[in-house]
Amino acid sequence: MAAKKKTAVEEEPSRAAGACVLAVLVGIVVAVSFAVSDAAGVLFVWGAGLAVLWWRVRRMSDKSATPPPERGHPSCRKCAGQSPLSVTPSETQKGMLIYSFDLPKRPGHTHLHIVEEVNGA
């Protein structure tokens, strides 16, 4: 007969269980604050709401951030349709590239774009 092997099953507590415990604890704290005084309960709820709002705003992803750089070279209305004159890695900021374009309407002037290096195809 083959020996039975015991498999160690590690169960992680679910997030829902943690949320339920947290909700019960918050409910108890709110009930105690209202038991002490109605004004204290109202102030506690307002303060907790403002604290949660502040925390959430600080953790919110920045949706107004500029989109990631395009593949290829950057372009704007000054250098549209041109090939870059040179592409140089930045010495001061790792992973940044400096694109320089020759301006046809302004001889002797160079237009620059500084963008993050795109890794991958």
Question: CA 84, CA 98: separation in Å to the nearest integer?
Answer: 10
Look at residue 5 and tell me whether its pLDDT is greater than 70: no
Q: Where are the domains of the chain?
A: 15-59, 69-121
Give the chain's mean pLDDT.
76
Look at residue 70 and tell me whether its pLDDT is greater than 70: no
Model pLDDT for residues 101-115, shown as the tens digit of each residue: 777 777 777 777 777
Q: What is the pLDDT, as a whole number, of residue 120? A: 44
- Whole-model pTM: value is 0.40
Please list the alpha-helical segments (H only) found in 1-113.
15-36, 38-59
Question: CA 101, CA 86: separation in Å to the nearest integer?
Answer: 7
Q: How many Cβ atoms sit within 10 Å of the Cβ of residue 116? A: 12
Query: Mean pLDDT across the stretch 61-80?
Result: 62
The residue type at 73:
H
**Dihedral class, residue 92 (left if φ above 0, else alpha if ψ from -120 to 50, else beta):** alpha
Q: How many Cβ atoms sit within 10 Å of the Cβ of residue 95? A: 11
Look at residue 54 and tell me whether its pLDDT is greater than 80: yes
Can you name the residues that pair with 86 across neighbouring β-strands? 100
Question: CA 31, CA 48: separation in Å to the nearest integer?
Answer: 14
Question: CA 82, CA 110: separation in Å to the nearest integer?
Answer: 12
DSSP element (H, E) containing 112: strand 110-116
**Residue 66 DSSP SS3:** coil
